[in-house]
Structure 1
Amino acid sequence: MTDPEFMSLAESLLTSIELACDRINDESDADVDNQRVGSMITLTFANRSQIIVNLQKPLHEVWLAAKSGGYHYRWHEGAWQDTKGAGEFFAALSANASAQAGFPLTFSAA
Structure 2
Amino acid sequence: MPPLTESEFLVLAGQALDRLEADIEAAADAADADVEINRTGNVMELEFEDGSKIIVNSQAPMQELWVAARAGGFHFRHDGGKWIDTRSGAELYAALSGYMSQQAGATLKLG
Answer whether contact 2:54 2:68 (CA < 8 A) is retained. yes
Task: Check if 1:13 corresponds to 2:6.
Answer: no
Corresponding residue of 1:56: 59
Give secondary structure in 2 for the equivalent of 1:52: strand
Distance (Å, rounded) in 2 between the aligned partners of 1:5 and 1:79: 15
Distance (Å, rounded) in 1 between the aligned partners of 2:27 and 2:97: 11
Give secondary structure in 1 for the equivalent of 2:61: helix
Distance (Å, rounded) in 1 between the aligned partners of 2:107 and 2:96: 11
Q: 1:37 is matched with which residue: 40, 43, 46?
A: 40
Distance (Å, rounded) in 1 between the aligned partners of 2:27 and 2:89: 25
Give secondary structure in 2 for the equivalent of 1:59: coil
Which aligned runs of 4 or more in structure 1 are off by greater than 2 angstroms? 24-28
Kindly tell me the number of residue pairs found equivalent between the two proteins. 108
**Structure 2 alignment gaps of length 5 or more:** none
CA RMSD of aligned residues (A): 1.2
Matching of residues 1-110 of structure 1 within 5 Å: 1-108=4-111
**Structure 1 alignment gaps of length 5 or more:** none
